């Protein structure tokens, strides 16, 4: 019995960390022991490992963090022990929010008030020494002296001799500040003439470590390795037509004008819309004579019969930043379905589920008291229809007389930030540009942030130039080099981020990088940033097509935010409903949440620190169809997976702290055009037989997940 339990734990660890872990048996056994010692599930242990990889301690060496090593596990064990000890101490003493800590009690006085007589007795008994700890400390004059005065330059940081306080300590040494002369577009370590006072560039402490990294250009993951990889030809461009889908937030708008009634109406309409979709799906599963009995009911009405209802998942907790757990799940109905009532849900009879605040679900259960629904079934909304293309459209995209129509379209996808945490010289972005110049793909998708507002040097103000100028000096020239790699035959798409310091919009959905309230303002903004006119500036999020392939891209880290709020129970292997492999894989499950909820941001309430959600522009957040490719840049583990027929890609971050990250490469082969053209000719013949009346075309599924190769490559 013990062997079976150990084998089950080992299988769970392999499922959470990936099959590559089997190549390191010592690491595998160590992780299995951690699950027992710290009483933590394998999936939760993997989440703790992902959180550890983002810390400076994990990134101090240029190691491959996709698979744990014994050295890193020692640091992880120290962190787990620290959290375990803190949890024990909190259990004994109570947390800071505990009712026991609301009122401080003086152990010496035991809550009694002093009188003149008792105070005199206290001093006579030696209480003066005991009260010394409660006295106001005397002021002590301290002189602040720099540790090494030679590191600070004279000039504007030096105090004048007549200053009464003496020399002051500057916030940042001059040698560590960034100036325009520290960088050039061609080489990150070559100064530009006439743009700054410095003549010698200042490389970051980790620039040499990054340049000497051992895992350069290493392929970390491959999807559909049976699909051949064929590079583009520089002198013969593949037909590549890029079109925005209607309804995108391309233009600027005035935000912070959202009314509370608009937000309430949006949430109500969303519940009512999904109620119709879920009801229709449930009715299709029952007999035709029983379909009339399937209708949405008020979740708060007490009844001994089984009820069916639809609502939004919420957290029943008044504490700020409270997380969802199996005891705090409530269902909120719309005003039309249940007058906006919230009813608690009991999930004990559900073998497996994945819930998060804001998710719209349907459920069956019994509510005998009117206050608690004992759920027996949960229903998720069906995915939207998949993207299709007619044969005539495919024939127009891939002309028969063009030999290049038989070759694949190569796409590069990168997600910011693009520079190291202790540098603004954009060394990783320079490496990416060099790789693009060598490979010469057909399409390059660059997602922000380009000038990260959360960069430590920008937050500290250690930049002697405007942030727009930083973009114009460090980003725009390199984008121009990408365009010139194939004589303007490369399509470059730039998608902003809400963390972009050079963007005037921080709300989500976010207009394009150089957007304005009118066309004239947008053109002026593009000129200030120095973005070439050939670059396509798309909003965030965005849906567009590359030939017939539908892309849906988002630079906001929605996956991380949903993962932080998600409550999931993975069914055991012997459970009745354990046939869904996606439910057991966390990142695939997060991608499915976005598609089933038909939204780029299904989480509500939104994350306070990263998403200024403007629901008055909610139409731009809706997925119009199940895309062929869903790209979401996230700090979670990079991945490329098939989820319900959709290629879901997290290219990872190009830079992780002070180390290089990853980007994605796609090789998209066209459909069998000979078969498609035969279908077009057959349709034309049928049209002639019926006196040239228009014959309805049957749309063809794009089936991209079978003809596309995806590689996650390290920079």
3-state secondary structure of 523: helix
Give the residue from 314, 308, 307 showing the smallest Cα distance to 329.
314
Contact indicator for 354, 593 with CB cutoff of 8 Å: yes
CB neighbours (10 Å) of residue 626?
Answer: 21
H-helix segments, 164-259: 207-211
pLDDT value, residue 173: 47
Axis crossing angle, helix 70-93 with helix 25-37, rounded to the nearest 10: 0
Contact indicator for 677, 395 with CB cutoff of 8 Å: yes
Query: Residue 519: is it exposed, middle or buried by C-beta count within 10 angstroms (0-12/13-18/19+)?
Result: exposed
Structure-token pair, residue 84: 């375990």
Contact indicator for 705, 632 with CB cutoff of 8 Å: no
- Per CATH, 219-257+386-557+610-680+703-714 and 260-379 having the same topology is answered no
pLDDT value, residue 624: 92
Give the residue from 569, 540, 650, 558 showing the smallest Cα distance to 603.
558
Dist CA 429 CA 661 (whole Å): 11
Give the residue from 173, 170, 193, 171 showing the smallest Cα distance to 182.
193
pLDDT value, residue 684: 67
Dist CA 296 CA 600 (whole Å): 26
Dist CA 203 CA 190 (whole Å): 10
pLDDT value, residue 37: 83
The topology under which CATH files domain 260-379 is OB fold (Dihydrolipoamide Acetyltransferase, E2P) (2.40.50)
Dist CA 220 CA 18 (whole Å): 12
3-state secondary structure of 639: strand
Contact indicator for 540, 498 with CB cutoff of 8 Å: yes
CA of residue 389 relative to chain centroid, distance: 30
Contact indicator for 540, 252 with CB cutoff of 8 Å: no
Dist CA 231 CA 211 (whole Å): 26
Structure-token pair, residue 683: 């349709």
pLDDT value, residue 178: 58
pLDDT value, residue 396: 85
pLDDT in tens, 521-580: 999 999 999 999 999 999 999 999 999 999 999 999 999 999 999 999 888 765 444 567
pLDDT value, residue 487: 77
The residues near 712 (Cβ < 8 Å, ≥ 6 apart) are 219, 220, 221, 222, 638, 639, 640, 651, 652, 662, 663, 664
The residues near 297 (Cβ < 8 Å, ≥ 6 apart) are 307, 308, 309
- For residue 540, the 8-state DSSP code is B
CA of residue 535 relative to chain centroid, distance: 24
Dist CA 615 CA 260 (whole Å): 10
The residues near 496 (Cβ < 8 Å, ≥ 6 apart) are 448, 449, 450, 503, 505, 510, 511, 512, 513, 539, 540, 555
Residue with tokens 């500036």: 537
- For residue 419, the 8-state DSSP code is S
Contact indicator for 367, 352 with CB cutoff of 8 Å: no
Structure-token pair, residue 428: 């990783």
Class of 219-257+386-557+610-680+703-714 in CATH: alpha beta
Dist CA 418 CA 654 (whole Å): 6
Phi/psi at 643 (5° precision): -130, 105
In the chain, how many H helices and how many E strands?
Answer: 18, 26
pLDDT in tens, 322-372: 889 989 999 999 999 999 999 999 999 998 899 999 999 999 999 999 999
The CA–CA distances, whole Å, from 37 to 33, 34, 76, 90, 140 equal 6, 5, 13, 19, 49
Residue with tokens 């051949």: 228
pLDDT value, residue 181: 52
Query: Residue 450: is it exposed, middle or buried by C-beta count within 10 angstroms (0-12/13-18/19+)?
Result: buried
Stretches where the chain sits below pLDDT 70 are 1-6, 59-63, 89-206, 573-579, 677, 680, 683-697
Q: Where are the domains of the chain?
A: 2-93, 219-257+386-557+610-680+703-714, 260-379
The residues near 8 (Cβ < 8 Å, ≥ 6 apart) are none
Dist CA 694 CA 204 (whole Å): 66
Structure-token pair, residue 639: 């991945």
Dist CA 333 CA 342 (whole Å): 7
Axis crossing angle, helix 427-439 with helix 476-484, rounded to the nearest 10: 10
CA of residue 370 relative to chain centroid, distance: 38
Structure-token pair, residue 237: 């461009």
Contact indicator for 278, 379 with CB cutoff of 8 Å: yes
- For residue 486, the 8-state DSSP code is T
């Amino acid at each position: 019995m013990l062997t079976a339990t150990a084998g089950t734990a080992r299988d769970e660890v392999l499922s959470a960390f990936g099959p590559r872990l089997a190549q390191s048996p010592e690491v595998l056994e160590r992780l299995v022991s951690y699950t027992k010692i710290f009483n933590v599930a394998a999936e939760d242990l993997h989440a703790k490992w992902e959180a550890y990889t983002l810390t400076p301690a994990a990134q101090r060496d240029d190691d491959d963090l996709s698979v744990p090593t014994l050295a890193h596990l020692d640091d992880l064990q120290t962190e787990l022990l620290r959290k375990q000890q803190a949890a024990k101490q909190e259990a004994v003493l109570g947390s800071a929010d505990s009712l026991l800590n609301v009122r401080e009690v003086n152990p010496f006085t035991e809550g009694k008030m002093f009188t003149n007589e008792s105070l005199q007795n206290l001093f006579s008994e030696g209480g003066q020494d005991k009260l010394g700890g409660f006295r106001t400390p005397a002021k002590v004059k301290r002189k602040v002296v720099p540790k090494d005065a030679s590191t600070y330059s004279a000039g504007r940081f030096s105090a004048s001799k007549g200053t009464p306080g003496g020399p002051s300590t500057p916030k940042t040494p001059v040698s560590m500040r960034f100036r325009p002369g520290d960088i050039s577009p061609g080489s990150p370590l070559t100064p530009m003439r006439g743009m700054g006072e410095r003549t010698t560039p200042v490389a970051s402490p980790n620039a040499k470590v990054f340049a000497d990294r051992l895992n350069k250009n290493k392929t970390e993951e491959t999807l559909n390795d049976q699909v051949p990889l064929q590079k583009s030809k520089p002198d013969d461009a593949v037909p590549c037509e890029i079109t925005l889908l209607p309804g995108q937030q391309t233009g600027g708008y005035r935000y912070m004008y959202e009314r509370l009634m608009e937000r309430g109406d949006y949430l109500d309409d969303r519940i009512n819309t999904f109620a119709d979709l879920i009801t229709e799906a449930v009715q299709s599963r029952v007999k035709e004579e029983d379909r009339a009995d399937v209708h949405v009911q008020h979740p708060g009405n007490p009844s001994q019969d089984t009820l069916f209802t639809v609502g939004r998942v919420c957290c029943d907790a008044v504490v700020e930043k409270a997380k969802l757990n199996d005891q705090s799940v409530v269902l909120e109905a719309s005003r039309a379905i249940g007058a906006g009532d919230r009813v608690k849900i009991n999930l004990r009879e559900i073998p497996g589920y994945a819930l998060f605040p804001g998710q719209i679900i349907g459920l069956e259960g019994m509510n005998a008291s009117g206050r608690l629904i004992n759920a027996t079934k949960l229903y998720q909304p069906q995915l939207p229809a998949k993207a299709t293309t007619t044969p005539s459209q495919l024939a127009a995209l891939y002309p028969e007389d063009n030999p290049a129509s038989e070759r694949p379209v190569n796409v590069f996808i990168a997600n910011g930030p693009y520079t190291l945490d202790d540098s603004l010289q954009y060394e990783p972005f320079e490496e990416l540009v060099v790789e693009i110049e060598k490979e010469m793909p057909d399409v390059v998708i660059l997602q922000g942030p380009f000038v990260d507002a959360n960069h430590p040097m920008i937050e500290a103000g250690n930049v002697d130039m405007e942030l727009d100028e930083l973009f114009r000096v460090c980003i725009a020239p390199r984008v121009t080099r990408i365009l010139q790699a194939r004589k303007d035959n490369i399509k470059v798409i730039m998608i902003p981020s809400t963390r972009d310091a050079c963007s005037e919009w921080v709300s989500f959905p976010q207009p394009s990088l150089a957007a304005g309230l009118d066309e004239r303002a947008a053109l002026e903004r593009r000129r200030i940033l120095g973005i070439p006119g050939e670059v396509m500036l798309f909003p965030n999020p965005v849906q567009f097509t590359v030939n017939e392939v539908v892309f849906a891209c988002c630079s906001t880290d929605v996956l991380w935010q949903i993962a932080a709020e998600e409550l999931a129970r993975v069914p055991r292997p012997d459970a009745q409903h354990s046939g869904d492999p996606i439910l057991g894989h966390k990142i695939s499950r997060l991608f499915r949440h976005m598609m089933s909820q038909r939204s780029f941001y299904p989480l509500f309430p939104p994350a306070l620190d990263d998403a200024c959600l403007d629901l008055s522009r909610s139409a731009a957040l809706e997925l119009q169809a199940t895309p062929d490719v869903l790209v979401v840049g996230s700090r979670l583990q990079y991945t490329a997976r098939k989820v319900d027929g959709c290629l879901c890609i997290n290219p990872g971050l190009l830079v992780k702290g002070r180390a290089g990250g990853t980007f994605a490469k796609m090789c998209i082969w066209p459909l069998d055009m000979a078969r498609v053209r035969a279908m077009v000719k057959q349709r034309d013949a049928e049209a002639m037989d019926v006196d040239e009346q228009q014959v309805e075309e049957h749309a063809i599924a794009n089936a991209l997940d079978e003809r596309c190769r995806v590689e996650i490559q390290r920079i």
